[in-house]
Amino acid sequence: MNTFTRALTATLVSSLALTAVAAVGPPVAHAMDRSVIGGDAARTADHPWVVAVGSRQLFGSARSGQFCGAAVVSARTVVTAAHCFDRQILGADPDRVRDFRVIAGRDDLRGEQGREVAVSDIWVNPRYDRRTNAGDLAVLTLAKPLPGAAVPLAGAGDAAYGAGQSASVYGWGDTGGDGSYASSLHSSRVRVLKDRECATAYPGGAAAGRFRAETMVCAGLPEGGRDACQGDSGGPLVAGGKLIGLVSWGSGCGVAGQPGVYTRISALEKEITGRMRD
């Protein structure tokens, strides 16, 4: 993860923990006052694989302790971003947190709809590189199954990765690029970009991170305005009915020419399927 994204995420954590509105950081597009960025309300009943990851111990109960998104990929297996478990993001050593939960079927985090399931194991990809954000995957094993909720994984060469494919990103994160966290689930429609376009947007260097097609895929709109943002991390990017990505990083939110960058699921398929216990 580049320093820019880290800074944004640190802002997220402090604003969640203190429930203060910490609207800082570089300017971002306030394109629409809807959400994820530029999206619409969505229902978990229609997308049962969209889940939240929370810890009330760390983040309080106002929004069910939510701090990341995730996707159910088998009854007892959930995937999210490795960076969600960074000590810097949590503000605590993950080994000392005893109440990580996956929250399913709860459209509005202020309510009690749906279920909270304890996490019995957290596998953070040992090849995840915090500096570059490569391999940004964690696999969570649930203490109890969530039957019938899984989304299929996209494999290498899946048509869903084709440039121009329509994809949807889901989350409870920032809807305005200004620390305004959603209480309810939103989704936004974006397009999968060519690896070359992603690399042009993120060439690396001091100001921005570098796109690495081996473990990343990027998506957005040329004009910006629709994107994932802080608090959406780890959440699903779905195209053609398959999970193609997990919200990972980007420069700002919804900014033209700065697409969202996602963990490329097909690149880590074996790491995921090898941990499915059902």
Task: List the catalytic residues.
Answer: 83, 136, 233
- 129's tokens: 């590189």
Least distance in angstroms from the C-beta of 125 to ligand 4AZ: 17
* Nearer CB in complex with ligand 4AZ: 48/225: 225
Q: Which residues bind ligand 4AZ (CB under 6 A)?
A: 5, 8-9, 227-230, 232-233, 247, 249-250, 253, 260
Burial 16-42 (b: 16+ CB within 10 A, else e): beeeeeeeebeebbebeebbbbbbeeb
Q: How far is the CB of 157 from ligand 4AZ (least distance, A)?
A: 25
Least Cβ distance, residue 136 to ligand 4AZ (angstroms) = 10
Residues 243, 275, 210, 24, Cα dihedral to 10°: 80
Query: Which residue type sits at 73?
Result: V
Cα–Cα distances in Å, from 254 out to 13, 51, 219, 223? 20, 22, 11, 8
In the complex, residue closest to ligand 4AZ by CB: 250
CB of 72 or CB of 246, closer to ligand 4AZ: 246
- Of 24 and 45, which has the nearer Cβ to ligand 4AZ? 24
Least distance in Å: CB of 112 to ligand 4AZ? 26
- Cα dihedral sign, 6-250-106-178: positive
How far, in whole angstroms, is CA 43 from its chain's centroid?
A: 17
User: Quick one: 52 or 253, whose CB is closer to ligand 4AZ?
Assistant: 253
